[in-house]
Amino acid sequence: MNTRHFLTLRDFEPAELEALIERSIMLKSEYRQGHRYEPLRNCTLAMIFDKSSTRTRLSFEAAMTHFGGKAVYLSPGTTQLGRGELVEDTARVMSRIVDAVVIRTVSHQMVETFATYSRVPVINGLTDEYHPCQLLADMQTYVEHRGPIRGRHVAWIGDGNNMCNSWINAAWSFGFRLNIATPEEFKPDARIMKRAGGWVSWHKDPAAVAHEADLIATDTWASMGQEAEKERRIRAFKGYGVDRRIMDLAAPDALFMHCLPAYRGYEVSEDVLEGEQSVVWDQAENRLHAQKALLEFLVAAQ
Candidate residues 5, 28, 55, 233; the one interacting with ligand CP per rule CB under 6 A:
55
259 binds ligand CP per the rule CB under 6 A = yes
- Closest distance to ligand NVA from the beta carbon of 64 (Å): 20
Distance, CA of 5 to CA of 12 (rounded, Å): 9
- Spell out where 20-69 has E strands: 44-49
Binding pattern for the stretch 120-149 against ligand CP, x by CB under 6 A and - elsewhere? ------x-------x---------------
- Spell out where 158-298 has E strands: 177-181, 200-203, 215-218, 255-258
103 binds ligand NVA per the rule CB under 6 A = no
- Closest distance to ligand NVA from the beta carbon of 219 (Å): 5
Distance, CA of 3 to CA of 122 (rounded, Å): 9
Distance, CA of 129 to CA of 217 (rounded, Å): 17
What letter does residue 242 receive in the DSSP assignment? B
59 binds ligand NVA per the rule CB under 6 A = no
Candidate residues 54, 65, 107, 302; the one interacting with ligand CP per rule CB under 6 A:
54
Task: Tell me if 181 sits within 8 A of 157, measured CB to CB.
Answer: yes
Taking CA atoms, 265 is separated from 86, 251, 269, in Å, by: 42, 23, 5
116 binds ligand CP per the rule CB under 6 A = no
Contacts of 193 (CB under 8 A, 6+ apart): 168, 180, 187, 200, 202
Distance, CA of 126 to CA of 198 (rounded, Å): 26
- Closest distance to ligand CP from the beta carbon of 283 (Å): 8
Q: List, in sequence order, the alpha helices (H) in the chain.
A: 14-32, 55-66, 87-94, 108-117, 132-146, 162-174, 190-195, 206-210, 230-236, 244-249, 270-273, 280-295
Q: Which of 43, 133, 164, 259 is catalytic?
A: 259
10 Å CB burial of residue 159 (0-12, 13-18, 19+) is buried
- Closest distance to ligand NVA from the beta carbon of 287 (Å): 10
Candidate residues 3, 44, 53, 226; the one interacting with ligand CP per rule CB under 6 A:
53
Q: Is 195 a catalytic residue?
A: no
- Pick 19 or 224: Cβ nearer ligand NVA: 224
- Closest distance to ligand CP from the beta carbon of 124 (Å): 11
Three-class SS state of 103: strand
Three-class SS state of 288: helix
Binding pattern for the stretch 56-95 against ligand CP, x by CB under 6 A and - elsewhere? x---------------------------------------
Candidate residues 24, 90, 140, 220; the one interacting with ligand NVA per rule CB under 6 A:
220
162 binds ligand NVA per the rule CB under 6 A = yes
223 binds ligand NVA per the rule CB under 6 A = yes
- Closest distance to ligand NVA from the beta carbon of 102 (Å): 14
- Positions touching ligand CP (CB under 6 A) are 53-56, 126, 134, 259-260
- Positions touching ligand NVA (CB under 6 A) are 126, 161-163, 219-220, 223-224, 259
